[in-house]
Structure 1
Amino acid sequence: MAKEDEFLNEKQHNFNDRQVSRSDFPPNFVFGVATSAYQIEGACKEGGRGASIWDSFSHTTGKIIDRSNGDVAVDHYHRYKEDIDLIAKLGFDAYRFSISWSRIFPDGLGTSVNKEGISFYNNVINCLIQKGIQPYVTLYHWDLPLHLHESMGGWLNKKIIDYFAIYADTCFANFGDRVKNWITINEPLQTAVNGYDTGIFAPGRCENTSTEPYLVAHHQILAHAAAVSVYRSKYKDTQGGQVGYVVDCEWAEANSDRTEDKSAAARRLDFQLGWFLHPFYYGDYPRVMRERIGDQLPKFSEEDKELLRNSLDFIGLNHYTSRFISHVADCDVESHFYKAQEMERIVEWEGGKAIGEKAASEWLYVVPWGIQKVLNYVAQTYQNTPIYVTENGMDDEENETSPLHEMLDDKLRVRYFKEYLAAVSQAIKDGVDVRGYFAWSLVDNFEWAQGYTKRFGLVYVDYKNGLTRHPKSSAYWFSRFLRGGESKNGKEE
């Protein structure tokens, strides 16, 4: 592997300490913040909402590190006006949020629409519009109605495609006069692998890891295409919106110039991105996946391929961090998905220094050059389809003993956003068609299996004192940035 200094200075722009401003982006570039329903809404039994798989999972002993759940979360259900007011005051153009499927159809089946759920999201959307904020709506962010899982196997059953299409149709019909940017499914990779291989996410299955993750992925891909077909045939002409879906990818950099490591890095990208993008552009999964997974990888019919073709108006990319990748012939892992890749993810340069400064989560290192590389890769591999960076951010560790002012002065997060945004602006200069950027997350929230032990928010939520909101230094930095100013210390001047 190239030495660190050579790599950063010769092969890659060094984004450290570089100032970045709004003028580095096109005038119509969208800046927003993002959240998801289960992580922020709470009100789990209010407003006619049905249970989701995350309700069940989070109440199962041992699944959430701090034994917490999303029953209340940060109470966005009752405080959405306050939160939207914060978005407006900070100066963001857009808000990416998800709709809870079980708020619309409590049993997921589409037989009886919950009018209270429709009303809630109408109120959220109308409030956003009144504040001049564009809604970017995700239909599925992991919270499958529990009834669909218990009664028919959820994403394991092909019938889920039809139920998802009915749900999507209902959302298009009720909200599409104001919502012009739709995301069908968020991070299908995480649902497939963490939900049905490692079992660390809902529904927590790890019994048939050589088949179930690939079946779940297959049905999610087809569900997206079915929803797009509904939109284009019934709503596109009158509503004029666009529909994409969101993939997640950490950049995979070869650990050396050896052919084996270069192949392993390419393989890693095919397993992360190609799995969920190749079918739309090439009609099938990546060849390396067919070779390594064999008959366990489902096949697309000719009818499926026709449905998939050109069904992405844009690609949403969630990106946080990067890894060096080396080839390992015999991976000592239980996960079928990871074993099939025959690779090792490395977090150190050859001299032993970390690939970047570490955030709170064990998987998250600050590696800004990685986002430029992954954006260029996606553009080159997938026809330079318009891209929105739909999530990007880092977390701090929850610390109950630190005074509030220390928790709010999130210097590393300010630096993270500055350096990653500089890298995104460079990707645009490279010719990548990036249309927008969404910081994760608006507020600290329920961080899935990590519960409330990790804080990703631009806005601090005081869990012990009435869930009060306190903007962090990073929020003020963004506010200055969006107004065209710069700040070196992350605080408003």
Structure 2
Amino acid sequence: MGQLRKDFLWGGAVAAHQLEGAWQADGKGISVADVMTAGDVNHQRGITDGVQPGHNYPNHEGIDFYHRYPEDIKLFAEMGFKSFRTSIAWTRIFPNGDEAQPNEAGLKFYDDLFDECLKYHIQPVVTLSHFEMPYHLVTEYGGWRNRKVIDFFLNFAETVFKRYRNKVKYWMTFNEINNQANYHSQFALFTNSGLQIQPGEDAEKVMYQAAHYELVASAKAVQIGKQINPDFEIGCMIAMCPIYPLTAKPEDVLKAERAMQTRYWFADVHCHGRYPEWLLQYQKNQHYDLDITADDLKELAAGTVDYIGFSYYMSFATKDKGEATLHYDEEHDLVPNPYVKASEWGWQVDPVGLRYVMNWFNDHYHLPEFIVENGFGAIDHVEADGQIHDPYRIDYLRDHIVQMKKAVEEDGVDLMGYTPWGCIDLVSAGTGQMSKRYGFIYVDKNDDGTGTLARSKKDSFYWFQKVIATNGDDLA
């Protein structure tokens, strides 16, 4: 039987825009996250035309990690973290995105942050683009629908690869690049690719074009990174929510297969360096004349990733609706799975699904895997004595770690590490709330922005500390 690596990268995961705050500090520019207002479980976050007065923009302050990171990294070290996944805010380095020269103050911040991690022997794991592209690239270039953005991204990537080549070994290019497979979601298109669909536009076609440019940019970035430091390990990052057939009816099984293809073809390009045949045929049938050059295809083949980073929170189900053609539309084709329970936010909790997707990735790509997001968003309550009891979070994580270990020990999956999402409470990307908490560390901040920002340890802090200390052996 296999076992977890001796150097297994236990840790936690965040994104710059969800916790740093300091949205205008030291020359930082406006990102797409800075124009997103607060929402809740029943209301989608708004996207405003620039930063407008009278709106609540929760990412502007985040949890003030920008000024408090030494305190937070020390707490991560106390938990025993071996790794810390974060992102580099593109707008701290290139405030508008299209400058020739970087902003030194932004570069220095990440120097200091990574030095603080390394002081405690915590390996930084860095995402280049995590829902925070410069807003200027949206207004002036149309986001990733414009081929020019490839070069702007590569200038950013090369700058940080060179600057941190001796501090950061593990990288990922685009966070959850496949969210935009749901092209009906303005939120997904905007956060992934800075896309704002105009009346009369075919959102699906625009998404395919933008995703192509991102995949070319990723492949080129992999090649540039390897030239700068051959020891870099550069991965992709896929939002993995398996889609099961609701029944064993053959038509349901076929529908689920197309659903999986539709959500995860991005990984085919990242890992195999080419587009899958079904997608090429589909685009041909749709008469989508995309800007895909022969040189692009060579770059995709030459810039495949070293590992698969992925998030896993839940699973979905789908069923055949008797349509004439086989097509999966995420906005309309998902159905509840009667065999799993849902969280307060409607997320279907499925620990066994984690083992399933680890095997699925392994069978398809034969690459090392890295679980870079997994966690349970819930409303936490602070007791009169200041304690925060979160057994529901411990139960969720324990159940998933059990299945994760089975995938390694019984199924032979090569797993690099496990970094639960939101290891410290932060602003939810999906809703903009603080009350949807994931952390081992509680942050005193409310949805309306009030609070002291004081940090305190939840019960799960001590539980995860024990898990790490025993390399996953003690899950009690």
Q: What are the equivalent positions in structure 2 for 1:76-225 lying under 5 Å apart?
A: 76-190=65-179, 192-193=180-181, 197-201=184-188, 202=190, 203=194, 205-207=196-198, 208=201, 209-225=203-219
From 28, 31, 56, the equivalent of 2:35 is 56
Q: Which residue of 1 aligns with 2:316?
A: 323
Q: Which residue of 2 aligns with 1:8?
A: none
Q: Which residue of 2 aligns with 1:7?
A: none
From 444, 464, 468, the equivalent of 1:462 is 444
Q: What are the equivalent positions in structure 2 for 1:19-418 lying under 5 Å apart?
A: 25-58=4-37, 64=45, 67-190=56-179, 192-193=180-181, 197-201=184-188, 202=190, 203=194, 205-207=196-198, 208=201, 209-233=203-227, 235-237=228-230, 240-278=231-269, 280-281=271-272, 283-288=274-279, 290-291=281-282, 294-296=286-288, 298=290, 300-309=292-301, 311-329=304-322, 339=329, 344-349=333-338, 355-362=339-346, 364-382=347-365, 384-397=366-379, 403=383, 408-418=388-398
From 439, 457, 462, the equivalent of 1:471 is 457
Once residues 80 and 243 of structure 1 are traced to their aligned partners in structure 2, the CA distance between those partners, rounded to angstroms, is 25
Once residues 427 and 296 of structure 2 are traced to their aligned partners in structure 1, the CA distance between those partners, rounded to angstroms, is 36
| CA shift in 2, pair 1:281/1:405, >3 Å | farther
Letter in 2 for 1:420: H
Kindly provide the CA deviation profile for residues 226-281 of structure 1, in whole angstroms up to 9, marking residues without a partner as x. 11121123x124xx211111011111222211111111111111111123424641
The Cα shift of 1:63 comes to 5.5
Residue 126 of structure 2 aligns to a residue in which SS? Answer: strand
Once residues 33 and 277 of structure 1 are traced to their aligned partners in structure 2, the CA distance between those partners, rounded to angstroms, is 27
Kept after mapping to 2: 8 A contact 1:221/1:276: no
Once residues 396 and 430 of structure 1 are traced to their aligned partners in structure 2, the CA distance between those partners, rounded to angstroms, is 31
Which stretch shifts more, 306-315 or 120-129?
Answer: 306-315
TM-score by length of 1: 0.84
The Cα shift of 1:193 comes to 4.8
Once residues 38 and 102 of structure 2 are traced to their aligned partners in structure 1, the CA distance between those partners, rounded to angstroms, is 26
Letter in 2 for 1:370: G
Kept after mapping to 1: 8 A contact 2:88/2:126: yes
Letter in 2 for 1:328: K
Letter in 1 for 2:80: G
| CA shift in 2, pair 1:48/1:27, >3 Å | same
Letter in 1 for 2:146: N
Kept after mapping to 1: 8 A contact 2:79/2:465: yes
Once residues 487 and 423 of structure 1 are traced to their aligned partners in structure 2, the CA distance between those partners, rounded to angstroms, is 12
The Cα shift of 1:338 comes to 5.2
Residue 440 of structure 1 aligns to a residue in which SS? Answer: coil
Q: Which residue of 2 aligns with 1:9?
A: none
Letter in 2 for 1:126: D
Q: Which residue of 2 aligns with 1:444?
A: 425
Residue 59 of structure 2 aligns to a residue in which SS? Answer: coil
| CA shift in 2, pair 1:449/1:297, >3 Å | farther
The Cα shift of 1:307 comes to 1.4
The Cα shift of 1:487 comes to 5.2
Which stretch shifts more, 448-457 or 47-56?
Answer: 448-457
| CA shift in 2, pair 1:405/1:210, >3 Å | farther
The Cα shift of 1:343 comes to 7.2
The Cα shift of 1:305 comes to 2.4
Letter in 1 for 2:304: S
| CA shift in 2, pair 1:289/1:395, >3 Å | farther
The Cα shift of 1:64 comes to 2.8
Kindly provide the CA deviation profile for residues 359-404 of structure 1, in whole angstroms up to 9, marking residues without a partner as x. 2322x1221010111111111111x1111011111100367xx646
Kept after mapping to 2: 8 A contact 1:104/1:114: yes
Kept after mapping to 2: 8 A contact 1:197/1:205: no
The Cα shift of 1:204 comes to 6.7
Which 5+ residue runs of structure 1 have no aligned equivalent? 1-22, 332-336, 350-354, 489-493
Residue 70 of structure 2 aligns to a residue in which SS? Answer: helix
Kindly provide the CA deviation profile for residues 450-483 of structure 1, in whole angstroms up to 9, marking residues without a partner as x. 1124112221111143111122222211101111
The Cα shift of 1:288 comes to 5.0
Kept after mapping to 2: 8 A contact 1:371/1:424: yes
Once residues 288 and 387 of structure 2 are traced to their aligned partners in structure 1, the CA distance between those partners, rounded to angstroms, is 47
Once residues 156 and 136 of structure 1 are traced to their aligned partners in structure 2, the CA distance between those partners, rounded to angstroms, is 28
Residue 124 of structure 2 aligns to a residue in which SS? Answer: strand
Which stretch shifts more, 254-263 or 208-217?
Answer: 208-217
Letter in 2 for 1:263: L
Kept after mapping to 1: 8 A contact 2:272/2:304: no
Once residues 113 and 134 of structure 2 are traced to their aligned partners in structure 1, the CA distance between those partners, rounded to angstroms, is 21
Residue 211 of structure 2 aligns to a residue in which SS? Answer: helix
Once residues 45 and 385 of structure 2 are traced to their aligned partners in structure 1, the CA distance between those partners, rounded to angstroms, is 28
Residue 176 of structure 1 aligns to a residue in which SS? Answer: coil
Count of residues in correspondence between the two structures: 446
Residue 388 of structure 1 aligns to a residue in which SS? Answer: strand
Residue 47 of structure 1 aligns to a residue in which SS? Answer: helix
Kept after mapping to 1: 8 A contact 2:440/2:460: yes
| CA shift in 2, pair 1:221/1:29, >3 Å | same
| CA shift in 2, pair 1:279/1:31, >3 Å | closer
Which 5+ residue runs of structure 2 have no aligned equivalent? 47-54
Kept after mapping to 1: 8 A contact 2:440/2:458: yes
Once residues 51 and 342 of structure 1 are traced to their aligned partners in structure 2, the CA distance between those partners, rounded to angstroms, is 30
